[in-house]
Amino acid sequence: MCKLCKIKPVIRLLSGVELCAPCFFKYFEKKVRKTIGIYKLIEKNENVVVACSSGKDSFSLLYILNYLSKTKLPFKVSVLAIDEGLKGYRDLSLLQKYCKNNKIPIKTISFKKEFSLTLDEMIKKTKMNGCSLCGVLRRYLINKYARILKANKLATGHNLDDEAQSILMNQLSGNLDRSARLGVMTGIYKDKRFVRRIKPLYFLTEKETATYAFLRKFPIKYKECKYAETAFRNEVSNLLNKFELEHPGTKHAIVNSFLQILPSLKERYGNKIKTCDNCREPTSSNTCKVCQLMKEIKK
């Protein structure tokens, strides 16, 4: 029974508390508001660009930010959507329709237009790992276009599971410098070419976000990307889910302990910033990762 109103519950939280749909909505939205408030993720009148993939996380985030943008913390919301060119998977038409119906400005960018090839074509040509390619190119485009749209903040739908996976992946592969770029508000470099990223869903689990999106009936096509199976992230996700089942609270413990050491990581890895010799984008080496990859792809 729902802890608060004693009707049929829709979810059992990690704490064991059961909630019905209206109480779960309140719980979920309060947690997002609290995260924004405590970490000062959004200031009054800021221009917030939401990076949307049209999945459950980004729809939940967009819905809540769009609602909050019209309350006593007024701010501007728009959407940035990336079409990687994944046949049978990425379909932004439902997101575009949702934005149109809710009067939210949307800007769509495609790999094909930006890099002359779709992600499918790049993978076929180079046999490179799809997710590594996708991640680097998508991050580059999102930052570039958020800057063009004059965003003060770039909001992403990363949840607690995503963050726990990233922390563990960086530990397992010895990439602590990458962990320094994680956190509720990311960014270790003070450089106006980097738009600061915020993660308002940071303390909500995958299960909670999926339940929220399902109950709110967002227009989502539940499909898995064909490259996800091969991803290192997928292996780590399975491992964490197994641990969470046997030792409830594991993911929260990973993220909360990480947040304690994050300031030291930012201090240690926070002052190397260069300009790419080729495209003039900010980078930590002489040639940015995107230019290195594009050179490889065009060989």
293 belongs to the binding site for ligand SF4 (CB under 6 A): no
For residues 139 and 196, which CB has a smaller minimum distance to ligand SF4 in the complex?
Answer: 139
CB of 55 to ligand SF4, least distance (A): 9
# residues contacting ligand SF4 (CB under 6 A)? 8
Q: Which of 131, 137, 210, 236 binds ligand SF4 (CB under 6 A)?
A: 131
**How far apart, in whole angstroms, are the C-alpha atoms of residue 144 and residue 193?**
8
CB of 22 or CB of 135, closer to ligand SF4: 135
The verdict on 227 binding ligand SF4 (CB under 6 A) reads yes
Nearest approach in angstroms of CB 282 to ligand SF4 is 22
Which of 26, 61, 65 lies closest to 201, judged by CA?
61
* DSSP code string of 156-224: ----HHHHHHHHHHHHHTT-HHHHTT-SSB------TTSPEEE-TTTTS-HHHHHHHHHHTT-------
Q: Does 1 bind ligand SF4 (CB under 6 A)?
A: no
Residue 228 touching ligand SF4 (CB under 6 A): yes
DSSP state of 230: G
Nearer to ligand SF4, 79 or 134 (CB): 134
Q: Which of 51, 225, 290, 297 binds ligand SF4 (CB under 6 A)?
A: 225
CA distance 282 to 187: 12
Using CB under 6 A as the binding rule, whether residue 135 contacts ligand SF4 is answered as yes
Indicate the angle between helix axes 206-215 and 21-38, nearest 10 degrees: 120
Segment 155 to 184, residues that bind ligand SF4, using CB under 6 A? none
C-beta atoms surrounding 166 within 10 Å: 20
Cβ contacts of 169 within 8 Å, gap of 6 or more: 175, 232, 233, 236
Binding of residue 91 to ligand SF4 (CB under 6 A): no
Would you say 169 or 231 has its CB closer to ligand SF4?
231
User: Considering only residues 10, 11, 180, 231, which one is a binding residue for ligand SF4 as defined by CB under 6 A?
Assistant: 231
Q: Which residue, 1 or 228, is less far from ligand SF4 as judged by CB?
A: 228
Nearer to ligand SF4, 32 or 231 (CB): 231
Q: Residue 148, interface with ligand SF4 (CB under 6 A)?
A: no
* CA 192-193-197 angle, 5° bins: 85
Task: Tell me if residue 48 falls in helix, strand or coil.
Answer: strand
CA-nearest of 298, 299, 276 to 286 is 276
Residues that bind ligand SF4 (CB under 6 A): 130-131, 134-135, 225, 227-228, 231
